[in-house]
Amino acid sequence: MKKSKKQTVSSKLVKTGLLRGGRLGRHVPRTVPLSWDRLRRMLGKSGMVYAKPDTGSQGIGIMRVDRGKGYYRYQLGTERRRFRTHVGLYRSMRRQIGARRYLIQQGVHVLRHEGRPFDFRVMTQKNAAGRWVNTGIAGRVAHPGKIVSNGSQGGTIYEAARLLRPIAGRARAARLIGGMRGLALLAAERFGRAYPAMNELGIDIAVDRGLKPWILEVNTRPDPCPFAKLDDRTAIRRIVRYGRGYGRRYCLRCGKAKKGQ
């Protein structure tokens, strides 16, 4: 693979391309550019897909699209629309999308806390020796009525174990967290090989109802703020310390996400 000096990559299609194949690939939902045919095929196969702007962030423009008996619908923000045909669905989605480049990704039926979807952010940074290390994991619960967990969209931050224990039990929760950390490291190693100048990654991982973890996206400019909302200060301190190791200083005036109880 060609070595790059890049420190950030914004295309989600390019980034998920790096994660394909091998043991890691089994934990990455199928991700392809949006087209009429691909949407129809993917909806036919899995019933639910997420549509996202290829270079988007903060959950902006993300749609959850699903197909049921005799209907199609999507949700964007808190707004839901329903259609009788694929034509109606696609036409309306296209109107929302305009000229932006979109991808579709196989939808994950994620775990919920009080009815609200949640997922995790794993922070992965290089240490002084240039090895990837997991420096924090935080749970993010979507704002009521929304389909994205991003803090900027009203998401709430919790300790990962606090969200998983009531669902999976103490031991299984611990194993799952270990599994997500392992996946994050595998993903970071792939990114590190393609982009040797990268020092930090924020990896979004969701867990489905069968307790299988899925990598939703890899952020190359990760925000440390979710970790600043945890009662336990260990992670945020470690993140700041590792960041300093490669010359990064974070702004820790964090307004966006709420803090869970």
Q: Which residues would be at the binding site for Mg ion (CB under 5 A)?
A: 204, 217
Part in contact with ligand ADP (CB under 6 A); list of ranges 15-23, 85-93, 142-150, 170-178: 142-150
29 near ligand ADP, rule: CB under 6 A = yes
The interaxial angle of helices 160-168 and 170-194, nearest 10 deg, is 130
Q: Which amino acid is at 75?
A: Q
- Residue 200 interacts, among Mg ion, ligand ADP, none and using kind-specific CB cut-offs from 5 to 8 Å, with none
Q: Which of positions 51-90 make contact with ligand ADP (CB under 6 A)? A: 52, 56-59, 62
181 near ligand ADP, rule: CB under 6 A = no
- CB closer to Mg ion out of 92 and 149: 149
204 near ligand ADP, rule: CB under 6 A = yes
Number of residues that bind ligand ADP (CB under 6 A): 22
Work out how close the CB of 245 gets to ligand ADP at its nearest, in angstroms, rounded to a whole number: 26
| Cβ–Cβ under 8 Å, residues 148 and 256 | no
254 near ligand ADP, rule: CB under 6 A = no
User: For 47-151, where are the alpha helices, taking DSSP H only?
Assistant: 86-97
Q: Which of positions 212-241 make contact with ligand ADP (CB under 6 A)? A: 216-217
Part in contact with ligand ADP (CB under 6 A); list of ranges 2-10, 16-24, 39-47, 103-111: 103-111
Whole-angstrom distance, CA of residue 104 vs CA of residue 216: 12
Q: Which amino acid is at 161?
A: A
- How far is residue 16 from each of residues 104, 116, 234, measured CA to CA in Å? 12, 26, 30
| Cβ–Cβ under 8 Å, residues 147 and 253 | no
Question: Which DSSP symbol is given to 148?
Answer: -
The length of the chain in residues reads 261
Work out how close the CB of 201 gets to Mg ion at its nearest, in angstroms, rounded to a whole number: 12
| Cβ–Cβ under 8 Å, residues 204 and 183 | no
Whole-angstrom distance, CA of residue 53 vs CA of residue 148: 13
Neighbouring-strand partners of residue 71: 68
Work out how close the CB of 241 gets to ligand ADP at its nearest, in angstroms, rounded to a whole number: 25
- Residue 50 interacts, among ligand ADP, Mg ion, none and using kind-specific CB cut-offs from 5 to 8 Å, with ligand ADP
Site for ligand ADP, rule CB under 6 A: 29, 50, 52, 56-59, 62, 105, 107-108, 110, 117, 119, 142, 148-150, 204, 206, 216-217
